């Protein structure tokens, strides 16, 4: 599996106290050398990996475990063609994490500390030898099967049982190796009638609680042979919002690239932001607006979803109420955007945007 947890040994942890603010630490969890670990029998390797995911000094019963009060981030450190590693737009993730915590009435974690912590956590793991190495063969299929380090920052609340906000949370960052996210198979999407986010809700926050509905709807879609589910808006039940954990784009016959406008129900993706800029650079007219599912059936020639895990992923069809809209697959624009984005991320083409933070 491409997206499994095998936490690297060095973890970052910060804790907020109302009297002292944020205090930081790097924790080195149990490990051997990567070479020794690769030689371990399966059960021992799993036990060692699991031990890095356990903490005996954090409360079990709290607002995160009981009520899903928490938020998280996802970003990547990528091995570079010319050596070394770089993190893609960590400042943007830092800002979003800050906004998420604020939106959940937690003490917001400063974005600059977020970036420094991510860089240092990855650096320490690399120094222990825990990192993938760049392979020229990845260039052949635009890094479709390339490895990277996934960084998962998240909040975790102090102990408590009543429904409440978190005043003294932890912020933790772990790294885990990843390869291709959507690993082959179906490229079809299914419109779900479940509702992911409502106006005045938390859809715009990368909040833990949003992903229960997303996981259920995605599971239902996958059970029926689809790759992804697509959510419609909660009020009119006709405007496309996004996927389970990805934003969505439609390239219309008119030549316009449309992505649903942000509000309080759509997650402001950093890949979304980056792809809009890369499309504009190519001279494509990019418009953020509401787009009805009916319009997609008549006007869209290409569709792709976007997110950190996979970049720009082409969608071959969308099924809604038993009817199927089909798209050029893989579309020319999505392929070109994916190629540019991945090329930049892995240092194959120059980072003209200043999007990479070197480690």
Binding region for ligand PLP (CB under 6 A): 74, 206, 242, 245-247, 267, 269-272, 306-308
Between 10 and 71, name the residue whose CB sits nearer to ligand PLP: 71
How far lies 257's CA from each of 41, 114, 196, 252, in Å? 50, 32, 24, 6
Give the span between the Cα atoms of 254 and 238, in whole angstroms: 21
Please tell me the distance from the alpha carbon of residue 186 to that of residue 317, in angstroms, as a whole number: 10
Tokens 């607002």, located at residue:
63
Closest distance to ligand PLP from the beta carbon of 270 (Å): 4
CB of 259 to ligand PLP, least distance (A): 11
Judged by beta carbon, residue 7 or residue 308, the one nearer ligand PLP is 308
Q: Which two tokens stand for residue 38?
A: 């690769």
Minimal distance in Å, beta carbon 307 to ligand PLP? Answer: 4
On whether the CB atoms of residues 307 and 248 are closer than 8 A, the answer is no
Shortest CB 266 distance to ligand PLP, Å: 7
Joined tokens for residue 3 = 């997206």
Q: How far is the CB of 268 from ligand PLP (least distance, A)?
A: 8
CB atoms within 10 A of CB 9: 22
Nearer to ligand PLP, 161 or 212 (CB): 212
Distance of CA 35 to the CA centre of its chain: 29
In whole angstroms, how close is the CB of 277 to ligand PLP at the nearest point? Answer: 13
Using the minimum distance from each CB to ligand PLP, give the nearer residue, 164 or 179: 179
Q: Which is nearer to ligand PLP, 49 or 202 (CB)?
A: 202
| Side-chain half-sphere CA neighbours of 36 within 13 A | 8
Determine the Cα angle at 302 with ends 297 and 305, to 5°: 100
Q: Judged by CB, which is closer to ligand PLP: 16, or 109?
A: 109
Q: Which lies closer to ligand PLP via its Cβ, residue 52 or residue 272?
A: 272
Q: In the complex with ligand PLP, which residue's Cβ is closer, 260 or 347?
A: 260
DSSP state of 236: S
Q: How far is the CB of 204 from ligand PLP (least distance, A)?
A: 10
Residue 75 CB partners (closer than 8 Å, separation 6+): 87, 88, 89, 90, 93, 118, 150, 151, 153, 270, 308
CB 231 within 8 A of CB 195: yes
Q: How far is the CB of 93 from ligand PLP (least distance, A)?
A: 7
Give least dist CB 136 to ligand PLP, A. Answer: 26
Phi, psi at 28, each rounded to 5°: -100, 105
Q: Judged by CB, which is closer to ligand PLP: 32, or 98?
A: 98
| CA atoms of 145 and 93, how far apart (whole Å) | 24
On whether the CB atoms of residues 186 and 219 are closer than 8 A, the answer is no
């Amino acid at each position: 599996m491409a997206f499994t947890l095998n936490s690297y040994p060095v973890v970052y942890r910060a804790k907020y106290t109302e009297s002292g603010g944020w205090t930081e630490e790097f924790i080195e969890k149990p490990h051997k050398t990567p070479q020794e670990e690769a030689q371990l029998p399966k059960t021992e390797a799993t036990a060692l990996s699991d031990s890095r995911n356990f903490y005996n000094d954090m409360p079990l019963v709290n607002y995160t475990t009981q009520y899903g009060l928490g938020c998280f981030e996802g970003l990547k450190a990528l091995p570079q063609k010319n050596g070394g590693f770089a993190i893609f737009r960590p400042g943007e993730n830092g800002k979003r994490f800050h906004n998420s915590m604020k939106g959940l009435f937690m003490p917001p974690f400063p974005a600059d500390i977020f970036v420094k912590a991510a860089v240092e956590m990855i650096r320490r793991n690399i120094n222990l030898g825990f990192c993938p190495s760049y392979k020229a063969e990845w260039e052949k299929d635009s890094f479709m099967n390339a490895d990277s380090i996934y960084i998962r920052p998240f909040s975790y609340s102090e102990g408590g049982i009543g429904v409440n906000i978190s005043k003294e949370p932890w912020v933790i960052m772990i790294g885990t190796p990843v390869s291709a996210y959507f690993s082959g198979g179906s490229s079809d999407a299914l419109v779900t009638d479940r509702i992911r986010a409502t106006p005045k809700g938390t859809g715009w926050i990368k909040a833990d609680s949003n992903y229960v509905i997303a996981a259920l709807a995605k599971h239902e879609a996958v059970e029926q042979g689809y790759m992804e589910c697509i959510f419609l808006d909660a009020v009119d039940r006709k405007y496309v919002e996004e996927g389970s954990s990805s934003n969505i784009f439609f390239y219309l016959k008119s030549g316009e690239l449309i992505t649903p406008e942000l509000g309080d129900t759509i997650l402001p993706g950093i890949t979304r932001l980056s792809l809009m800029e890369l499309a504009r650079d190519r001279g494509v007219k990019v418009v953020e607006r509401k787009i009805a599912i009916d319009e997609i059936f008549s006007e869209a020639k290409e569709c792709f979803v976007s997110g950190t895990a996979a970049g720009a992923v082409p969608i071959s069809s969308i099924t809604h109420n038993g009817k199927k809209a089909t798209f050029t697959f893989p579309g020319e624009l999505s392929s070109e955007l994916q190629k540019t984005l991945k090329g930049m991320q892995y240092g194959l083409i120059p980072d003209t945007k200043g999007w990479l933070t070197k480690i």
